[in-house]
Amino acid sequence: MRRRGFRFTLIELLVVISIVAMLAALLLPALHTAKRTAHQAQCLNNIRQIGIGAFLYVADWEDYMMPADFGGSADSWINCLALSYVPCPAVFRCPALLEGEMFDPYGGNDVYADAVTRAGYIMNTIYSSWTPLAISTPADRSFGWTLGDLTRNPLRMPLARRPARTVLVTDIAPNVVNSSAARGLVRFRETDWGRIDADGNGLANADERQVGYQHVARKFTALMGDAHAELRVRTRADEWVAVVLP
């Protein structure tokens, strides 16, 4: 006598489907967090590579830090660095940002080439508008990694007051990018001290926050002035002051 093959009932199939759906609901958030953690680790590695390139520049140019502006834009340091010191364009891309959330850095009218077409990092060259927070140093004589009120004036490293505690390069925030504009921190309000909207996002206003928050727990990467990299949630105001002129 032929035995009938085993068959699932409709109820049994629905139970199995429910279990699979529950497991997926439990696993997907963990996978998402793991992906963000991997992006965060890659971003830290990227910014460390940028730091190595920056200090190779310092060694070649008699202790002068690279200026943000090599003639035309406060983000032209990226393609200048890529030309001689960091030849991998992918290093300048933040893996946590989508293609459209990054910007096209200036190539110096082809003087410094245009190897990097999308970038996710900006340099601290603050030279004005230290409001809304009063800093402990004289605001009219305090600057980021620039000497004076132009982002093309390079700062000599011996003049930096606390390189290990001063932000040099950091993430750019998503959703604030105007791809046709120069990207660089020139006002204190563009740091993590700048205003954000009700959803916690940066605002597409040149006077508001442009420092990123796209990593796990809304952290951002910060390359400090001695080439070490950190994950930060918040900075102190004076961590953006590289030099105070007499």
- Judge whether 2 lies within some domain: no
Q: Looking at residues 65-79, what average pLDDT do you find?
A: 85
Query: Could you count the other beta carbons within 10 Å of the beta carbon of residue 193?
Result: 18
Of the ranges 129-143, 205-219, 231-245, the best mean pLDDT one: 231-245
CA-CA distances (angstroms) from residue 219 to 32, 182, 191, 200?
Answer: 16, 24, 13, 13
Q: Which residues contact 244 (CB under 8 A, 6 or more apart)?
A: 137, 138, 141, 142, 143, 161
Q: Which domain holds residue 32?
A: 10-244
**Please, what is the average pLDDT of the chain?**
82
5 is a domain residue: no
Is 4 inside any structural domain?
no
Does residue 1 lie within any of the structural domains? no
Whether 216 maps to a domain, the answer reads yes
**CA atoms of 73 and 83, how far apart (whole Å):** 16
Which range has the top average pLDDT, 16-20, 80-84, 218-222?
Answer: 218-222
* Confidence tier at 85 by pLDDT (50, 70, 90): very high
CA distance 118 to 121: 10
pTM above 0.75? yes
The CA-based diameter of the chain, rounded to the nearest angstrom, is 103
Span 151-194, pLDDT tens digits: 678 899 999 989 999 999 999 988 665 544 557 888 888 888 87
Asked whether residue 3 is domain-assigned, the answer is: no
What's the one-letter identity of residue 116? V
Is 143 contained in some domain?
yes
- Residue 193 CA, chain-centre distance (Å), reads 15
Q: Examine residue 94 and state whether it is found in any structural domain, yes or no.
A: yes
Percent of the chain clearing pLDDT 90 (strictly above) = 36
Do 107 and 113 contact (CB within 8 A), yes or no?
yes
Q: Three-class SS of residue 126?
A: strand
Dist. CA 202–CA 25, nearest whole Å: 30
Q: pLDDT tens across 108-131, in order?
A: 555 556 789 899 999 998 886 665
Residue 97 has pLDDT above 80, yes or no: yes
| Tally of domains within the chain | 1
Angstrom distances, CA of residue 36 to CA of 31, 136, 204, 216: 9, 36, 24, 6
pLDDT at 206: 45
pLDDT tens column, 26-60? 777 777 788 889 999 999 999 999 999 999 999 99
Instruction: List residues bridging with 170 in a β-sheet.
Output: 122, 222
